[in-house]
Amino acid sequence: MEIELAPLVDLPEGRGVRADVGSERIAVFRIGETVHAIGDRCSHAEASLSEGDVFDGEVECPRHGSPFDLTTGEPRALPATTPVPVYPTVVRDGVVYVIIGEGS
């Protein structure tokens, strides 16, 4: 299911935004013209990844510091060991959509 999130220009560059879509809590990150969407709940202790610092294609969990790859959802260092979900995104006519429930 494709869900409209926001106009691309309304997403801040290089930091996260949390979007609640139904029962899903999603962290959305704009890096230039690219938008990444991953599960917002850290797989270690459920901190909000949308509040983490972003650098080099990763977001650092604000609670204990595990960095998560924005493309794969994989943690790159402890203490988290389990990936978070990744949601495909589409930018169409300047509007960002996230796709829920298809391979996520």
Binding residues vs ligand FES (CB under 6 A): 42, 44-45, 47, 61, 63-64, 66, 79-80
Nearer to ligand FES, 66 or 89 (CB): 66
Residue 8 CB, shortest distance to ligand FES, in Å, is 28
Nearer to ligand FES, 61 or 98 (CB): 61
Residue 41 CB, shortest distance to ligand FES, in Å, is 9
Nearer to ligand FES, 42 or 96 (CB): 42
- For 74-79, the CB contacts below 8 A with 24+ separation are 75/43, 75/44, 79/44
Strand ranges inside the chain, DSSP E = 2-7, 16-21, 24-31, 34-39, 53-55, 58-60, 67-69, 86-87, 89-92, 95-99
